[in-house]
Structure 1
Amino acid sequence: MKTTITPRVRTLVLLFLAVVGMLFAGAGTASAHAALTGSDPSSGVVVNKAPTQVSLTFSEKVATNNDSLRVLDPKGKRVDVGKPSNISGTTYATQIRSGLPDGTYTVAWQVVSADSHPVGGAFTFSIGSPSKTTVSAAAEQDVGGGLVGGLYGFGRYMSYAGFIVMVGGAAFVLACWQRGAGVRALQRLVVSGWVSLTAATLWLLLLRGSYTTSGKFGDIFDLNLLGQVLQTKTGASLVSRLLLLAAAALFIAVLFGAYDKREDEEKRDLTFGLAIGGGVVAAGLAASWALSEHASTGLQPGIAMPVDVVHLLAVAAWLGGLTALLVSLYRAPADNPVGRATVQRFSRLAFGSVVALVATGIYQSWRQLGSWSAFTDTGYGQLLLVKIGLVALLVGIASISRRWTGRLADSDTDTAKAETVVEETAAAEEHEPEKEHVTASAKTGGSSAASGDPKRAAQLARQQVAVDTTRQKRLRDADPNLFGLRRSVLAEAAVAVVVLAVTTALTTTEPGRTEEDAKAAKASSSSSSSSSSGALTLDMSFDTGGKDGKGIIRVDIDPARVGGNEMHVYVQRPNGRAFDVPEVKVAFTLAAKKIGPLPVTPDRITTGHWAANGIQIPMAGDWKISVTVRTSDIDQTTVDKNAQIG
C-alpha cells in the first residue's frame, strides 16, 4: 500500500486553520480578567450633589492611561480632569469639573488587568434627576476584539506553537535521537519553530499598544504607543523573550552544526552542556509567559509561576517531541531510519511529561477555578473540561502508538532489513526497462549537460530524484509495524493541534474564580439599598487580602426605622456557600448629624449567620453601615454602604 505525505500535511494544515478560525471568529471581545467590584457613585444611582471625583474599585490592580476613566455629560462631552490615579489598593479615581448641571452622566472605563488582558465597560449615574443621554451605549468599546484582537490572538497561538516546536524538537534530538541532528527535515522543523516564535513576538509587540487602547489597526505602527508598551510588564516580557531567542539561535546553530559533526564518543560530552544550556534558555522563554499572565496574579503567585514554567516545558517536550517524531517517521532518510530504541526513548520522555502535566494541571485548575461548580458554571471551566477530554484522547492514542512500538524490530534488525529492501528494490529496478533507462540516463546526465543540452540534463536529474524518492518510500513502507506507528502518531499530532488551540483560548478566558467574583460584585451593585415591607437589605463584597479572604456580606435590617430594629448578617463565599469567619462587627454612623459610630456586636447563630436584636436607630437619615469581618488572626477588612433608614 503506497502512502504519500502531501495529503496528510494538507489535512493537518486545513485542520489547523479550521480550529483557529472557529476559536477566534467566535471569540468576540476578550474576556475580562479584572472585575469591577464597586464604584462611587454607584451604577444607576441618583445623587443630589455633583461629586468631585469618580472612583472605581477592581478585583485586582490594573494599569491605566490618560483615557482609562472617562466621564461624559449627556451630550458626550468629557468632564473628567487629569489622569486617573490609584487612591488606595485597587481603587482608582479621576477628578471631574465642578458645577456640573443636573442630568445623566456616563462613566466609560478601559484598563489592563494584572494578567495583561484589557478590560472595559460603562455605566451611568445621575445628578439631581435622570435625563436623556446618547453616549452610554457607545461608550463601552469593543475591548480586545475586532480585527486587532483577532490578529493578536492569532499571534499568541503562533508564539505558543513556535515555542513548542522549537523546544520539543531540540529536546527530541538530544534525548531521543542524537543521529537526527543531521536530518535536514528535523533541522528545518526546529528552525521554523524559532522563526515562528520570533516573528510572533515582534508581531505581538507591535500590536500590543492598539490591542490595549484604541483597537484601531492604524495604531499598530504608532511609536508613542510602542514606547508606552515597552514600559509595561508585558512589554518587558516580550523584549526579554526576544533576547532569549538570540541565545536560542546560538544553541540551534551548535546543535545542528558542531554537534552533528562530532563522533558518537565526542557527542556524549557535548550533550550534557547543550542540555543544561538549552534547558536554561527554554525555562527563561517559558517564564516570559508566566511572569506576565495568569500565573503572576491571584492566589500564590510565588508558587504558580514556577508551576506554570514546568507546565509549559512539559507541553513542549510532549507535543513538540511528538511533532519531531512525526517528521522523523515520514522524512528520515533510508540510511538513517528511526528505530525502536528512539521511539522507546521518546515514549519514556512523553510519559514523564504527561505526569508533570497532570500534577501541574491539577494545581492550576484549583487555583483558577476554586470550586467544583466552576467547572460547569464558568466559561473557563467548560473550556478546561474540553481540554481534559482532548488530553485523555491524546493519551489513549499514545497507548496505541506504544503497542506499535513494541512490535518494531530492534535497531540492528531494522538496519539489516533496510539493506535487504534496498537490494531487492535495486534488483527489481534492473528488470524494469523504464526505470533502468531513467537510471542510465541520469548517470549520463553530466555528459549530456556537457554536450550543451542543459534542458535534457535537468529533465534527467528530476527523473533520478523521482526514482530515489520512490525507493525511499518503499523502504519506509516495508515494515507494516512502522507504517502503523506513523498513522497513530499522525493521529496524535492532529489532536495535539486542537489541544494547543484550546490551551491558547484558555489563556485569554476569564478564570473561574474571577468570573464568580465578578458575578458577586454585579449582584452587590445591582441590589443597592432596597426596602421591601419595611425591611432593608444591603450586599457588600469584601477581601481581607489573606488566603481565601474574599466573600460577600448581606445585612438585613427589619423594619429599618427609627427605634428598635432586628439585624441579621450573612457571610458567604463568592460561590454563595456559607463562610465560617471568626468575627463580625457592625457600626452605624450618621455623618450629617455627627452621630456615631454606634457599634453593634452580633451573636453567631450558625456558620455564616450572625444576628442582633434591639438595635436602636435614634433618628432618620442617610446612615453609613460599616461591617468589619475577620477571616483569620491577622486578616480583616471593613466595608461600608450608605442606606436610608427611617
Structure 2
Amino acid sequence: MHLLPAKESAMSHNRILLTLTLLLALLVPAQAWAHAQLLSTDPADNVVLESAPETLHLHFNEPVTPLAISLIASDGVATELLAATTGGETVTVTLPAAGYQGTQVLSWRVVSTDGHPIGGSLVFSIGTVTGASAAAANDPAVAIALWAGKAVLFIALFAGIGAAAFSTLAPLPLTAEKTAIVLAIIGLPAVALTLWLQGLDALGLPLLSSDPRILSTGFATSYGMTAAAAGLGFLLALVALCLPRGRWASGLAWLALVVAALSLALSGHASAASPQWLTRPAVFLHIAGIIFWIGALLPLWLLLAERGAAATLALAQFSRFIPLAVAAILVSGVTLAAIQLGWPGPHWLAPYGLILLAKLCLLALLFALALWNRIGLTAPALAGDAVASRRLRRSIALEALLVVIILGLVAGWRFTPPPRALAAVEAAIPAEPIWVHIMDAKTMAMVSITPGQAGPVALDIWLTDVEGVPITPLEVSVTLSEPDLGIEPLKRAAREEDGAWLVEGLTIPVSGTWRLELDIRASRFELIKLEEMVAMP
C-alpha cells in the first residue's frame, strides 16, 4: 500500500490536467454528423436498363468512406471496384469498360463518421433479368464477438482505470489493487481484439478471416483513435497502480482517467452528433463521472467489510466527490439523450431508443440506491454502525450488478442508429406521392401531388371524360386553401405537357386538410369546377 501524497499539490496538478483535456475535447476538429444512412441510389434498385451505365451512385445523408465495393455477376464472378470508387455524401462507382448483360449486384460497404460501418447491395439488370448471385451476408459471429469484446473493454476501462483514480483519494485494499491491475492488463488485448473485430465488421468478413487489411481498416475508422487512446489509458493506469503512492502515481492515475474518458469521446454515435462543441465535451464528462463512480465500488465494498480507519477515509472521500460525478453524469446524460433522440416521433421506438429506455430505468434504480446510500447509510457507517456498513455493502454489490447490465446494454448501441439519424433520413427521403381522384357527371381528374407532404410540391393532372377518354381543355388552374388555419386560396395556372397538366413551384406551407379546386376551361363558354379535400401530412 502507498503513502498518501500532499493533497493540495496533487489536486492542483489534477485540475490542470482536467482543464487541458477539456480544451482538447473542445478543439477536436470534425464536422458534425450522425449515423450514416443510405438515401437513394442511381440507378434505382431492381431497375432494368437498356445498356450498361458508366457509373453507379449511392447517396447518403452524410459523407462516408468506401471500405469494400464489388460487382457480382449472375455467374457469381466478383470484380473488386474499390479503387474505382470515390467517397463523400455521394459514393460514385466507375464500372468496368467491358460489356456485360443480365442481373448484377453491387455489394457495398462504407464507414460513417462515427466509425460504424454499414453495407448493402444494389441490384440492377442490363437488358434482361437473370439469376444473380447474392452478396455474402455479414457473419453474425462477428457482431456477437464485437459486442462481447466491447462489454469486456468497458468493464476493464471503467472498473480498472476508475480504481486507479480512486486510489489517489484513499488507499486501495490489496484485493482491489490486484483486481485493478488485472483489469488494466486485460484491457490491452481487449483493445487489440475490438480493433480487429472492427476491421472484420467494416469489411464484412467472417470471424476467422485472415485478410491482411483487417487491422489497417479497423484503425482507419474513427474507432482507431478510440482504441489508441484506450490503450494508452490502460498503460497509464497500470504504471500508476504499480508505483508507490505519491505525486507521480496520482498524476498518472488521473491522466489515465482523462485519457480513458477522452477515448470514448473520439468515436461513437453521441460524439459524432451535432453540435460537436457540445456533444464531445458532454461525452467526456459523462464517461469521466461514470469511471470515478464505478472505480470506487469494489474498493468500498472490500473496505467496508473491515470497518477500519481506511474504510472510514475511503467512504468519506467518496461521499465528498461523488456528488460532482453524479452531477456531471446527469447533466451530460440529459444533454446527449435529448440530442440523440431528437423530436418525439415513432423513431423513438427504434432499437436505440428501447436500449436507452432500458438504460434509463436501470440508471433510475442506480441513482435511487446511491441516494439511499448517501442519505440513510453513509453517516451511520462513518459513525461505526455495523448494520449500516453491512447494508451499504449489499447496496454497493447491487450497484455493481446494475452497472454490468448497463455496460452490456451500452455495448449494443454499436449496432443501432440513433433516432435522430433515422428522423433525419426520413426527412431527407421524399414522401410517396398523394393521388387524388375527383369527378363530376361529365369529367374525371386524376391528380398526383409529389412529394406527398407539406412543403414544395408539384402537381400532375390527367383529365378524361367519364368514359376515360382524354379531353383537351383550353386551360387549367389549381387553387389550394386551408380555411381552418385562415390561409387564403393559393392559385396557380397549369401548363400542358405530353397530355398532362403540370403545376410546379407551388408550396404547401403547413400540414393540414387542404381544399383542392380545379378550374377546367373546357371551351370559351364552359368552365368545369372540381373540388376535393386532401390531407397533407
Query: TM-score band (shorter)?
Result: 0.7 to 0.9
Match of 2:272 among 275, 297, 301: 297
1:479 maps to amino acid: A
- Asked whether 1:152 is paired with 2:146, we answer yes
Match of 1:43 among 37, 42, 45: 45
* Distance in structure 1 (CA, Å) of the matches to 2:275 and 2:211: 37
2:66 maps to amino acid: T
- Inter-CA distance 567–361: structure 2 relative to 1 (3 Å threshold): farther
Partner of 2:292: 317
1:477-514 Cα deviation digits (max 9, x unpaired): x9223222212221222222212222222343210112
Unaligned runs of 5+ in 1: 1-31, 260-269, 415-477, 541-550, 570-587, 593-597, 617-646
Partner of 2:188: 198
Partner of 2:73: 73
Partner of 1:96: 95
Match of 2:327 among 355, 360, 373: 355
CA positional deviation for 1:300 = 1.0
1:86-105 Cα deviation digits (max 9, x unpaired): 36x40001112357455433
Secondary structure in 1 matching 2:168: helix
Q: How does 1:21-40 map to 2 (within 5 A)?
A: 33-40=35-42
Confirm or deny: 8 A CA contact 2:35 2:114 kept in the other structure: yes
Partner of 1:133: 131
Q: When the two structures are superposed, what TM-score results if normalisation uses the length of structure 1? A: 0.62
Secondary structure in 2 matching 1:97: coil
Partner of 2:241: 252
Partner of 1:161: 155
1:387-440 Cα deviation digits (max 9, x unpaired): 111111112222332312222353xxx5xxxxxxxxxxxxxxxxxxxxxxxxxx
2:141 maps to amino acid: L
Match of 1:327 among 292, 302, 305: 302
1:282-319 Cα deviation digits (max 9, x unpaired): 22222222112223423112321111111101111112
1:584-625 Cα deviation digits (max 9, x unpaired): xxxx9x9x9xxxxx9954366546999999999xxxxxxxxx
- Inter-CA distance 184–374: structure 2 relative to 1 (3 Å threshold): farther
Number of equivalenced pairs: 457
Q: How does 1:372-387 map to 2 (within 5 A)?
A: 372-373=344-345, 376-387=348-359
* Distance in structure 2 (CA, Å) of the matches to 1:128 and 1:203: 46
Confirm or deny: 8 A CA contact 1:33 1:511 kept in the other structure: yes
Confirm or deny: 8 A CA contact 1:152 1:207 kept in the other structure: yes
Percentage of matched positions with identical amino acids: 23
Partner of 1:404: 377
* Distance in structure 1 (CA, Å) of the matches to 2:506 and 2:41: 28
* Distance in structure 1 (CA, Å) of the matches to 2:257 and 2:408: 21
Partner of 1:338: 311
Confirm or deny: 8 A CA contact 2:454 2:510 kept in the other structure: no
Secondary structure in 2 matching 1:57: strand
Partner of 1:602: 506
Moved more, 308-317 or 487-496: 487-496
Unaligned runs of 5+ in 2: 1-33, 438-444, 464-471, 482-494, 521-537
- Inter-CA distance 99–147: structure 2 relative to 1 (3 Å threshold): closer
CA positional deviation for 1:368 = 0.9
CA positional deviation for 1:44 = 3.0
- Inter-CA distance 499–318: structure 2 relative to 1 (3 Å threshold): same
Secondary structure in 1 matching 2:125: strand
Match of 2:393 among 483, 486, 489: 486
Confirm or deny: 8 A CA contact 1:121 1:140 kept in the other structure: no
Secondary structure in 1 matching 2:457: strand
* Distance in structure 2 (CA, Å) of the matches to 1:357 and 1:295: 14
Secondary structure in 2 matching 1:602: strand
* Distance in structure 2 (CA, Å) of the matches to 1:528 and 1:75: 38
* Distance in structure 2 (CA, Å) of the matches to 1:601 and 1:360: 44
2:137 maps to amino acid: Q
1:8-57 Cα deviation digits (max 9, x unpaired): xxxxxxxxxxxxxxxxxxxxxxxx94210011001233334432111101
1:281 maps to amino acid: A
Confirm or deny: 8 A CA contact 2:456 2:505 kept in the other structure: no
Bigger radius of gyration, 1 or 2?
Answer: 1
- Asked whether 1:227 is paired with 2:216, we answer yes
1:514-561 Cα deviation digits (max 9, x unpaired): 22344556775xx48989863334449xxxxxxxxxx99673413068
Match of 2:282 among 288, 291, 307: 307
Partner of 2:365: 393
1:123 maps to amino acid: L
* Distance in structure 2 (CA, Å) of the matches to 1:78 and 1:34: 26
Q: When the two structures are superposed, what TM-score results if normalisation uses the length of structure 2? A: 0.73
Secondary structure in 1 matching 2:104: strand
* Distance in structure 1 (CA, Å) of the matches to 2:131 and 2:233: 52
- Inter-CA distance 231–395: structure 2 relative to 1 (3 Å threshold): closer
- Inter-CA distance 394–558: structure 2 relative to 1 (3 Å threshold): same
Confirm or deny: 8 A CA contact 1:121 1:141 kept in the other structure: no
Partner of 2:104: 105
- Asked whether 1:282 is paired with 2:284, we answer no
Secondary structure in 1 matching 2:83: strand
1:107-149 Cα deviation digits (max 9, x unpaired): 32222222112211223233445x24242xx32622xx52222
Secondary structure in 1 matching 2:110: strand
- Inter-CA distance 376–205: structure 2 relative to 1 (3 Å threshold): closer
Confirm or deny: 8 A CA contact 1:109 1:121 kept in the other structure: yes
Moved more, 558-567 or 225-234: 558-567
Match of 1:557 among 422, 436, 459: 459
* Distance in structure 2 (CA, Å) of the matches to 1:535 and 1:49: 33
- Inter-CA distance 568–86: structure 2 relative to 1 (3 Å threshold): farther
Confirm or deny: 8 A CA contact 1:408 1:482 kept in the other structure: yes
1:52 maps to amino acid: E
- Inter-CA distance 82–400: structure 2 relative to 1 (3 Å threshold): closer
Moved more, 399-408 or 310-319: 399-408
- Inter-CA distance 606–301: structure 2 relative to 1 (3 Å threshold): same
Secondary structure in 1 matching 2:311: coil
- Inter-CA distance 308–374: structure 2 relative to 1 (3 Å threshold): farther
Q: How does 1:511-530 map to 2 (within 5 A)?
A: 511-519=418-426, 524=431, 527=432
Confirm or deny: 8 A CA contact 1:566 1:613 kept in the other structure: yes
Q: How does 1:378-527 map to 2 (within 5 A)?
A: 378-402=350-374, 403-408=376-381, 410=383, 414=384, 479-519=386-426, 524=431, 527=432
CA positional deviation for 1:240 = 3.6
1:170-205 Cα deviation digits (max 9, x unpaired): 232223x2xx24x21121122123122212112122
Confirm or deny: 8 A CA contact 2:239 2:252 kept in the other structure: no
* Distance in structure 1 (CA, Å) of the matches to 2:358 and 2:35: 20
Partner of 1:211: 201
Confirm or deny: 8 A CA contact 2:381 2:388 kept in the other structure: yes
- Asked whether 1:534 is paired with 2:446, we answer yes
Confirm or deny: 8 A CA contact 2:54 2:94 kept in the other structure: yes
1:405 maps to amino acid: T
CA positional deviation for 1:565 = 6.3
The root-mean-square deviation of aligned C-alpha atoms, in Å, is 4.0
* Distance in structure 2 (CA, Å) of the matches to 1:190 and 1:315: 16
